[in-house]
Amino acid sequence: MKEIDPTHSTSLNVRRSTFLGTTAAAAAGTATLGPAFAQTPLGKLHPPLVPEDDPSISVEHARLESAAGAIPAYAARPRNATATTPAMVVTMHIWGVDTSIRDFIRRLAKAGFAAIAPDLYGRLGAPTGDGATDFSVFRPFAAKLDRTQVASDLRSGAQWLKTRQASARVAITGFCMGGAIALRQTIDNPTIFAAAGAWYGNPAGIDPAAVTMPVLGSYGGRDTSIPPDSVRAFQKALNVPNDIVIYDDAGHAFFDDQRSSYVADAAEDSWRRAQAFFTKYLTA
């Protein structure tokens, strides 16, 4: 799979919004995060939006077993989780399970989902992505990811969740590289996941006719790496329920609030949509 450089895949004209520019509808989707969210400067390294010691969630550093060797994973769930709490496997972006992915896992937990992010680089000795700005460091590790093994690791993540939420439906989502991988699970793991979502995950190579689960997609209209027309063509050919939006003012990696690609209004509206979408298809 061709990897996208998240630092050089956005039109130079993209607007870098701040949270103060978020629409009222999008802001409604962040209500569970409280005032700390609105007061945190985003688009650069910042304190977590949902800290690990948030009393409403529990965090766990998990270990996923596989014939190829175990990998670590980062997980969180609501303190009051039950057997039917909806569950999510999150596929990491090129930077790995970094601060933004871990914070996203906790945001999902605070929003009422059990969630886990398998470290797909866990057998490869990759460096941490925390605060990283050099995409090229991670390219060799991304290139070593094997499709069959990745599908197995993501199944292991879903199975780990099911040991705690035995009656839950499980969805998969991801960002950039992980978004493309998440879409691919509609083909590789169609009986494991009940729905799939992608933030700027390239749909190239995914046969829409083979997709049998609901699909969520959030893309940037100024993303030079994923042509909007290809996204529209993918959506048009889908035969399943879907919610796919292209944000005209956003480029690639617009959801990553730890980096300068962040675009607040697109990020917050896509977060609101994601919560509604996965609640609908995991609790129906």
252 included as an active-site residue? yes
Burial class (CB in 10 A: 0-12, 13-18, 19+), 71: buried
Query: Given 103, 153, 223, 257, which residue is catalytic?
Result: 223
User: Looking at 98, 176, 256, 269, which residue is catalytic?
Assistant: 176
Q: How confident is the model at residue 27 (pLDDT cuts 50, 70, 90)?
A: very low
Q: Which of 54, 98, 252, 269 is catalytic?
A: 252
- Residue 249 contacts residue 15 (beta carbons within 8 Å): yes
Residue 4 pLDDT class (50, 70, 90 cuts): low
- Report pLDDT for 265: 97
pTM of the full structure: 0.90
- Note the CATH number of domain 19-125+135-283: 3.40.50.1820
Tens of pLDDT, residue by residue over 63-85, are 999 888 999 999 999 999 999 99
Sequence-distant (≥ 6) Cβ neighbours of residue 194 within 8 angstroms:
169, 170, 171, 213, 214, 281, 282
Residue 20 has pLDDT above 50, yes or no: no
Tell me whether residue 223 is one of the annotated catalytic residues: yes
Helix (H, G, I), strand (E, B) or coil at 96: strand
